[in-house]
Amino acid sequence: MSVIKDLIAELGTVCAGLRDRRTAPRRDGDYTMADIGLSAFALFFMGSPSFLAHQRALQRGQGRSNCQTLFGMSAIPSDNYIRLMLDGASPAAFDPLFMQAITAAGPLTRFQCLGGRLLVALDGTEYFCSRKIKCPQCSTRRRSDGEVECFHAFLGATIVAPGQAQVLPLPPEFIAPQDGAEKQDCERNAAKRWLARHGMAMAHLRPIYLGDDLFACQPIAAEIHRAGGNFILTCKPASHQTITEYLHGAKLEEHRQTIRKGRKCTTTIYRWLSGVPLRGTADAITVNWFSIEIRNAAGKRTYYNSFVTDLDVTADTVAELAACGRARWKACPCEGGDRERNVQRVQKPRLQP
């Protein structure tokens, strides 16, 4: 509990430094910015399904002692007051806390793979969508019925590892209108900003960045290299015509693994081709393409995916590379699909022992 208390204390310090929008002289009994910020954090820490349910539980006395003892809150403001005071606060103020939490977690041995490397999964997700409610930070899209939909999204970055049920979150990058930009913000631009802002701070961890097909492009690959990292990115044939042309008629290297568990038998087939251009230009980055195919005992394909990487692909490394590429789905909101959007999930309440 000492590590958690230390991290919460650091959070309280950051919250105390947020801009106070109140202009009237302070009075005894006024909520402090630390109380306001920690009240918002308590909602997620205690695993409440909604802000309103959390406030009602506190009013009934359920969890109040935890808020006082765990977070050191002298008073608990209402949800409307919290929104009023925190609206407009810069999310970047909390970025150092993510790095402190990673440091406090101790050695990251169980997350290391490929010779002591760490996997950082990048993926975008939405957390608000409405056709009626909007704000200056909204992104927009026009639906097939002609209606305009407003939404908020962010790029999440998470440390993952094959076989690990736990993940370690890193600072997010919000997808929102940017000053001076003519086009609407998007996941790729958010990924570039994230790498520019946090890439060098992560370099000592020797990161390998994971991402879906959207990120398997020259600009993102170049930014990853500038940040001192490597990559394993999903590569769909339909969106990578140059690679598909190289694969057509080429002799692919192949490695097979057959696993028997009781009466079940599966065969995993790995294929790869090294030294292909990521795009059809003279300055294209050279990558290594590989695929994984799983077949059951009847020979029916049950899984297939393909990736590009700047790491060497050999018979000794291809299986671990494929496992690393697939580990990205641990960071997605509902494991098993990189486009799932159900971010909010009811959690079991956390009570102080």
Look at residues 157, 167, 159 and name the one whose alpha carbon lies nearest to residue 205.
159
Q: Which residues face 152 on adjacent strands?
A: 128
Rounded Cα gap, residues 136 and 6, in angstroms: 36
One domain for residues 114 and 84? no
Instruction: Kindly report the pTM of this predicted structure.
Output: 0.86
Highest averaged pLDDT of the listed ranges 32-46, 106-120, 166-180? 106-120
pLDDT value at residue 40:
87
- Asked whether residue 99 is assigned to any structural domain, the reply reads no
Query: Whole domain around residue 209: which residue ranges?
Result: 109-126+156-331
One domain for residues 48 and 116? no
Task: Name, in order, each residue with C-beta under 8 angstroms of 154's C-beta and a sequence gap of 6 or more.
Answer: 124, 125, 127, 172, 173, 174, 175, 190
Lowest mean pLDDT among 118-122, 232-236, 257-261: 257-261
For the chain, give the longest Cα–Cα distance: 78
pLDDT value at residue 349:
42
* Orientation of helix 33-45 relative to helix 64-71, angle to 10°: 120
One domain for residues 170 and 75? no
Region of residue 180 (phi > 0: left; psi between -120 and 50: alpha; otherwise: beta): left
One domain for residues 280 and 190? yes
pLDDT in tens, 144-184: 999 999 999 999 999 999 998 889 999 999 998 887 677 78
H or E element at residue 224: helix 218-226
Could you give the number of structural domains in the chain? 2
One domain for residues 79 and 114? no
Lowest mean pLDDT among 13-22, 198-207, 328-337: 328-337
pLDDT value at residue 261:
85
One domain for residues 71 and 114? no
pLDDT in tens, 288-323: 999 999 999 999 999 999 999 999 999 999 999 999
One domain for residues 117 and 168? yes
Q: What's the CATH code of the domain at 177?
A: 3.90.350.10
When pLDDT is cut at 50, 70 and 90, the band that residue 48 belongs to is confident
pLDDT in tens, 235-273: 999 999 999 999 998 999 999 999 988 888 999 999 999
Rounded Cα gap, residues 37 and 93, in angstroms: 12
The mean per-residue pLDDT over the stretch 97-103 comes to 89
Task: Report DSSP state, residue 329.
Answer: G
One domain for residues 167 and 223? yes
SS3 content of the chain, % helix, strand, coil (to 5): 35, 25, 40
The mean per-residue pLDDT over the stretch 337-349 comes to 39
pLDDT value at residue 332:
55
- Asked whether residue 336 is assigned to any structural domain, the reply reads no
Output the average pLDDT for the chain: 86
> Is pLDDT at 350 greater than 50 in this prediction?
no
